[in-house]
Structure 1
């Protein structure tokens, strides 16, 4: 089966006779039974029921439905229900707060906002009201002034599914937002389903989901990667799918041991958070044959810990690099044997372009002339999966699109084999220095540092921010670690809770820079953020 119409995905999978069971670590936020296991027919019914109450709330063909709620996979069930009605879902993580959230909702001007009373109370306490930017608002948890409780619209019969053209707007996601307000990326059925999800639904040796797999996903479910994953994984019909939303070590341990994965996909931040589990005697990763990571690099010590924890010979770690606008652009595969030869900067080697799907070139940022292998420059990519536009920022889209080529805004080096080594985002780049690689070096030399972030204030040396357990640092050890490195500013220590992050766990670098220095201007131009 190949995915096509997301509005009836679960109906088609159930009609095909698929036996996949879905297990949740907590019940959905949607108004339904408080259960944690579903078969395909039950998921299809839930999507249809959700389409019924969305229609009762006034949603119809062509309308925009903004979804902002706690992190759970029912983001995609809500999206499928809106698509079933011919509407366009816009999935926004609840980690967006304040001005960024209000800006994105203003750009969308949705027919309906689906959210929670808790989120509305949080924003109203800051003097903002997301409900004021939508024609109507439905809350999933509790009544609140200015919104419709979901129980008032539940129980309505859903209209018949509505189709749409392959090039019509299907779904809207936002970029990570590490450098400011995220962009809204609108994908069509052709780009996100035909060009991204369908290739992933092919049973390739070693890296495709099998029918006897238990697939565990621990992600940010508001983002485009999970929507694409939903389209493909159910067509591959594994035996079990397990959804992890609680990412504290002890909560995740119980769930993972109840559903030990053979395929595990997670955010890089989640892999780092759950790494202590790999050292336990009764650890849950002993059956994993395939690890999958996207969004950001995973450091070699973490790769070694997970690949060392599985008892499967030939286990593989697949690392993807891409963007919301394009989907995956390069892949790299790690094995236990290969990791023995890696060093602290190896995480920034992103592999080669996806065969037959993407092309890549490195160009001079000033002239856009192609650069030879070994010269750092701006990365341009070409892929048929590129989204049609940004929502509400057409001019910004045109500034990054150069004919069929797309400006990623990343600075990288390409070697003679075609492999890519990422140096920095252009907006944060300091000529002659890779801050990302220096971060990896410092983390390898300072084991008491949970994460190192190098900020690049304009006109100053890079500023090291060291995330530690208690927000303090060993100054003597730091000075020893940086003796042979380019000059750095005096370090700042912070606790994990103090670091502003995106929905995918990335550091919001510009917000952190402004907090620490009072300014957000960086060493790069920022022309292509």
Structure 2
């Protein structure tokens, strides 16, 4: 069976996570999947599997879930320690017709408990580490149908390890427009929202990215470093496996560890979180050249700075290497995109996040916030429309409806479109600061001028003045003279505040929680006043 044939079937029948491994094995059972870690749920599986072995492992886990009592139409919250088996367990739950609710390992126990309450007595699939870290202190017996752990033993739970060898179960296919997978938003403004994806919406989202992978003339390995719980992970794995591309699944983000993996497996395509790519920038100077084999870098989730793209592209030895940025969010999938190239990325306008993708992909518009036409100096609301929009927020339909206007979804970002149609995203609406056209633009420019900065975030201070919060490589003290020279174009900025990078509050996708950072900054400045 050809990948293109399976892809066409997905466009008609939707993407069913529980069937994906089996479909990929039908395309090419020998495609390798390599891990940089052992699987908690299947420690005997090792770190290198074929797609056929991967599919059998998912089938095995599905049989264990069925034996534990999980049934079709049930919700099962998957929240365990960071590991690729999270994705496999979600696929296993989907395979028996349950609806996996994928919660990040980065969420604290109180947040997880609140989301479990929102779902309404689901099953909980976790591990002993999460239970011991605080989850067990909450009344799980009252909040859930059952608590399952992937391995080991814990009072009041059933261990999947003890159910190995359970009889296999025929797959159950979810209806095309009913909930198939539930993920959550980043939670930058409070308790995360639960985003409902259907087989139809998941399948449609593959369209623009399937075309992107046509750039891969050779079957080079694809390195994936994104949260295993994220809706983007469903698309990334689907595209790579159906294209018969070897997959390298990375859990670790430490630059030295990543360099070793890249030197060993030589990926041609890298998809990673923007902040991870930023952390890996210094590897561009590594004499071993870990990025030499990379033809395409790709990222979604958040804005990425031109400096980061330029450094990575210049570390590749591949002719025509490019960085493809996709702008979107969990609710809309990929909305617009653009490519950056080695000779121009350093001078690119980082606020230009791209153009509408080919026919059949999302439509994008910018609407007025104040009755005046949107422009660079009067940004409007960015809105997206297509059949790939998420169906709803689970148990928060009114909140979903607030952002939905017919076919159009308001993203919460503000920006404008140029005469050539390029979408410029300037800021999140909630992060706008009076007197600053775009905080993200300031960050792009200054980071490009000061190589010693590892992070820069502009947030409102106690008097709503724009305060640059900076982090430096190895926490080296900031050279104030270099700083002043770099920010001459931005006289409205207050004096910078330097903090260790480890103190930055982040979401599960490593975005800086700007509201939380502003609150932390104001408390800090109040203490020193």
TM-score by length of 2: 0.90
Deviates more, 1:112-121 or 1:456-465: 456-465
Q: Hey, which of these two has a bigger chunk of helix by percent?
A: 2
Distance across 1 between alignment mates of 2:513 and 2:346: 32
**Is contact 2:435–2:492 with CA below 8 Å preserved after alignment?**
no
Q: Distance in 1 between matches of 2:416 and 2:518?
A: 26
Offset of residue 71 of structure 1: 2.6
Question: Is the counterpart of residue 286 in structure 1 residue 292 in structure 2?
Answer: yes
Paired residue total: 510
Contact 1:23/1:242 (<8 A) preserved? yes
CA contact (8 A) 1:120 1:130 kept: no
CA deviations over 1:333-358 (Å, ceiling 9, x no partner): 0111222543xxx2221011223222
Give the corresponding residue for 2:342: 336
How far is the alpha carbon of 1:301 from its aligned partner?
2.0
Find the aligned partners of 1:308 and 1:132 in 2 and give their Cα distance.
Answer: 55
Out of 209, 224, 228, the position equivalent to 1:221 is 228
Give distance in 2, aligned partners of 1:502 and 1:131. 28
Q: Deviations over 1:68-89 (max 9, x none)?
A: 1233332221111111111101
Task: Specify whether residues 315 and 470 from structure 1 end up closer, same or farther in structure 2 by C-alpha distance, changes over 3 A only.
Answer: closer
Unaligned runs of 5+ in 1: 520-529
Deviations 1:87-113 (A, max 9, x none): 101111111114432222221235311
Are positions 1:500 and 2:505 aligned together? yes
2:24 paired with 1:13:
yes
Distance 1:211 1:473, change over 3 A: closer
Once the 2 structures are TM-superposed, how far is the Cα of residue 267 of structure 1 from its aligned partner? 0.9
Contact 1:201 1:235 (8 Å CA) reproduced:
no
Q: Which residue of 1 aligns with 2:182?
A: 172
Quote the residue 1:450 is aligned against: 454
For residue 404 of structure 1, report the CA deviation from its aligned partner: 0.7
1: distance between equivalents of 2:161 and 2:56? 17
Q: 1:302 aligns with which of 305, 308, 313?
A: 308
The DSSP-based 3-state class of the residue aligned with 2:334 is strand
Comparing 322-331 with 426-435, greater Cα deviation is found at: 426-435
* Among 105, 121, 124, the residue aligned to 2:116: 105
2:366 paired with 1:362: yes
Counterpart selection for 1:414 from 412, 417, 421: 417
Asked if 2 retains the 8 angstrom alpha-carbon contact of 1:71 and 1:222, the reply is: no
| 8 Å contact from structure 2 (residues 374, 416) kept in 1 | no
Shift, 1:211, TM fit:
5.8
How far the C-alpha of 1:370 sits from its partner, in A, is 5.9
CA distance in 1, matches of 2:187, 2:44: 35
Per the alignment, in what secondary structure is the counterpart of residue 416 of structure 1? coil
Rounded to whole Å, the distance in 2 between the matches of 1:512 and 1:111 is 33
1:292 CA drift (Å): 0.9
Bigger CA drift: 129-138 or 214-223?
Answer: 129-138
**In 2: Cα distance, 1:130 partner to 1:513 partner:** 34
Moved more, 330-339 or 145-154: 145-154
Cα root mean square deviation, aligned: 2.3
Q: Is the 8 A contact 2:431 2:515 kept in 1?
A: no
CA distance in 2 between counterparts of 1:462 and 1:506 reads: 19
Which residue in 2 is equivalent to 1:522? Answer: none
Alpha-carbon shift at residue 473 of structure 1 (Å): 3.4
Deviation at 1:129, TM superposition (A): 5.6
Superposition deviation, residue 396 in structure 1? 0.6
CA deviations 1:462-505 (Å, max 9, x no partner) are 22211233275344443444344142334322112111111211
1: distance between equivalents of 2:81 and 2:235? Answer: 20
Question: Per the alignment, in what secondary structure is the counterpart of residue 313 of structure 1?
Answer: coil
Q: Could you tell me which residue of structure 1 aligns to residue 439 of structure 2?
A: 435
For the 8 Å contact 2:206–2:235, the answer to whether it is kept is: yes
In 2, the alpha carbon distance for the partners of 1:203 and 1:454 equals: 33
Picking from 390, 395, 414, the partner of 2:393 is 390
CA distance 1:411–1:372, shift in 2 (3 Å): closer
Cα contact 1:267–1:294 (8 A) shared by 2: yes
Shift of the 399–189 alpha-carbon distance from structure 1 to 2, 3 Å rule, reads: same
Q: 1:289 to 1:89 in 2, by over 3 A?
A: same
Residue in 2 that maps onto 1:509? 514
The secondary structure found in structure 1 opposite 2:312 is helix
- How far has the Cα of 1:418 moved from its partner? 1.0
State the TM-score, normalized to the length of structure 1. Answer: 0.90
Tell me, in whole angstroms, the C-alpha distance in 1 between the residues paired with 2:462 and 2:60: 53
